[in-house]
Structures are given as structure tokens and as C-alpha cells.
Amino acid sequence: MHFEYQVEGGDFTNAGTTSSIVKKMMKQLGIDPSIVKRTVVALYEAEVNIVAHAFRGTITVDLEENSIYIKLQDEGPGIPDINQAMQKGFSTASPKVREMGFGAGMGLPNMQSNSDKLVVNSQVGVGTTIEITNYY
């Protein structure tokens, strides 16, 4: 099954909508709850990063027989130093985003710890692509 969702930067009202839809689908398919939880945590963190940092983004979800593959592509400022961004607590979130309770610097580390495979590619001034794969 293949699904595609659009995410708008700055739209905190709908942040997490895609994660909720994917969670519901995975539960309906009877996927192990621990895999559902890990996948939804990783996806939510990535989805919120689009909302908090980018202008817009696209999330594609491919549910296969034994895996889920999620690709998030955004148009935004990009990540200048991915290794630094992977460090717990590092954040480039604006004060406004932090005031809303986001931007604690745990997004990428949480994605990594909740993914069987995580690939992050970014180009400054263009955007970021994140690929999350979990197996079940």
C-alpha cells in the first residue's frame, strides 16, 4: 500500500495528523503494537520537524508485507551539520517554536532510536530528506 500526504510549514494545528493516520492503518492491519509505537514516534518527530523548520513537505508511506518505509521530503533551510543535529539536545528551533513546546533537540535522536534504518540527507537552502524503515 502506498500513501502520500502533504505537510505545511508552520501548521502546528495539523502537526501529527499523518502520524495518527499511519498509526490507525498499522493497527487495523494487526501489526505488532511495539512496531506501531516505534514507527509512529519516528514519523511524528519527522513530521513535526517539517512543520517547525520547513516551508512545506511531502510524506510518502509504503506498507509492505514485512516492513514500513516512510520518506519525508521538505523544502526548507536544510541541515548544515547532520552529525551535530543528531546530538541529543541540539536544536535550531526558533523561540516561537520552543514556546509552543517543540524544539527540544530530540527529533533526530528519537527518529534514530525508533527506526531500524534511518537515512538523513540535506542540502542547505534546498531541504531535507529523511527515510525511515521499520521491519516486522
How many CB atoms sit inside 10 A of residue 120's CB?
19
| pLDDT tier, 83 (very low <50, low <70, confident <90, very high otherwise) | very high
- The amino acid occupying position 8 is E
Identify the CA nearest to 41 among candidates 93, 128, 91, 111. Answer: 111
What mean pLDDT, rounded, does the chain reach?
95
* Confidence check: pLDDT of 103 > 90: no
Q: For residues 36-40, give the mean pLDDT.
A: 98
121 vs 117: CA distance, rounded Å:
13
CATH number belonging to domain 2-135 = 3.30.565.10
- What is the model's pLDDT at position 95? 84
Average pLDDT score over residue span 116-132: 98
